[in-house]
Amino acid sequence: AQKITQTQPGMFVQEKEAVTLDCTYDTSDPSYGLFWYKQPSSGEMIFLIYQGSYDQQNATEGRYSLNFQKARKSANLVISASQLGDSAMYFCAMGRNTGFQKLVFGTGTRLLVSP
Amino acid sequence: DTEVTQTPKHLVMGMTNKKSLKCEQHMGHRAMYWYKQKAKKPPELMFVYSYEKLSINESVPSRFSPECPNSSLLNLHLHALQPEDSALYLCASSQEVGQGKYNEQFFGPGTRLTVL
């Protein structure tokens, strides 16, 4: 069975600073994908970044990067130059590399960006 | 068009009512999903449709009945719900044959359901 653990219920960061949101996972599948989603208070889940288990390099998407350490089974999200609009709930999720997804989500981390 | 729409945005219903939630996407995705999200919890998968056929039912009670009339539409029929079914119901879609980041699920804004 797949499992995602997010140990930080809440994080605070000042505007323009970088912040790291932790995610560890457990799976016996050799092939998997790791996803990060942002959920503002409006409720919509917004896809941020993806890392495949076979990817050699860490994924980056604009201000988002994923610190993927396969041996440690961790996939931490790094947000650089935080903005007030980054305040939201962040979920780490695991699924397959191909085809339709049965995503397993972590419990989430609430990020608050202060001016 | 990279949008998943859901109607209604809010729904209040009694335990004896029958109602339906609607989800629509026009991205050509052939996989569609229903999730239930309770307050301060992560989304929990309920159903997955792949090529308009039910592929996954996560042991959801029969008072929730999904329907996929065509490749763009997904409905969730509700009947005899309980107050504990009050939650945010999220619909999502994704490519069926995509790989890697192209497997991302696009989520709709959700329907906030309250059962009295």
The per-residue pLDDT of chain B, averaged, comes to 92
Please state the separation of Cα A10 from the chain's center in Å.
Answer: 14
Token digits for A65? 């990067």
Burial class (CB in 10 A: 0-12, 13-18, 19+), A90: buried
Q: Is A74 helix (H, G, I), strand (E, B) or coil?
A: strand
Measure the CA–CA gap between A85 and A23, rounded to whole angstroms.
22
Write out chain A's pLDDT in tens, 115 residues.
889 999 999 999 999 999 999 999 999 888 889 999 999 998 899 999 999 898 889 999 999 999 999 999 999 999 999 999 999 999 999 987 666 778 999 999 999 999 9
Q: Which residue has the tokens 């029929």?
A: B77
Residue type (1 letter), B56: I
**What is the longest distance spanned by two Cα atoms in chain B?**
44
Closest CA to B24 of B73, B92, B96, B69: B73
Q: Using the beta-carbon criterion (under 8 Å), do A50 and B96 form an inter-chain contact?
A: no
Mutate to test the interface with A, among B3, B103, B111 (most CBs of A within 10 A): B103
State the pairing for strand pair A46-52/A60-61.
unpaired
Closest CA to B74 of B98, B55, B92: B92
| C-alpha angle B26-B27-B32 in degrees, rounded to nearest 5 | 85
Using pLDDT thresholds of 50, 70 and 90, give the confidence band for residue B5.
very high
How much is the pLDDT for B102? 63
Q: Using the beta-carbon criterion (under 8 Å), do A45 and B42 form an inter-chain contact?
A: no
How much is the pLDDT for B1? 60
Q: Using the beta-carbon criterion (under 8 Å), do B94 and A52 form an inter-chain contact?
A: no
Q: Is A31 touching B (CB cutoff 8 A)? A: no
Residue pLDDT, tens place only, B25-73: 999 898 999 999 999 999 999 999 999 999 999 999 999 999 999 999 9
Q: Is A84 touching B (CB cutoff 8 A)? A: no
Q: CB neighbours of B75 closer than 8 A, spacing ≥ 6?
A: B20, B21, B22, B23, B66, B67, B68, B69
End-to-end CA distance of chain B: 36
Q: Using the beta-carbon criterion (under 8 Å), do B94 and A35 form an inter-chain contact?
A: no
Partners of residue A25 in chain B, C-beta under 8 Å:
none
Residue type (1 letter), B11: L
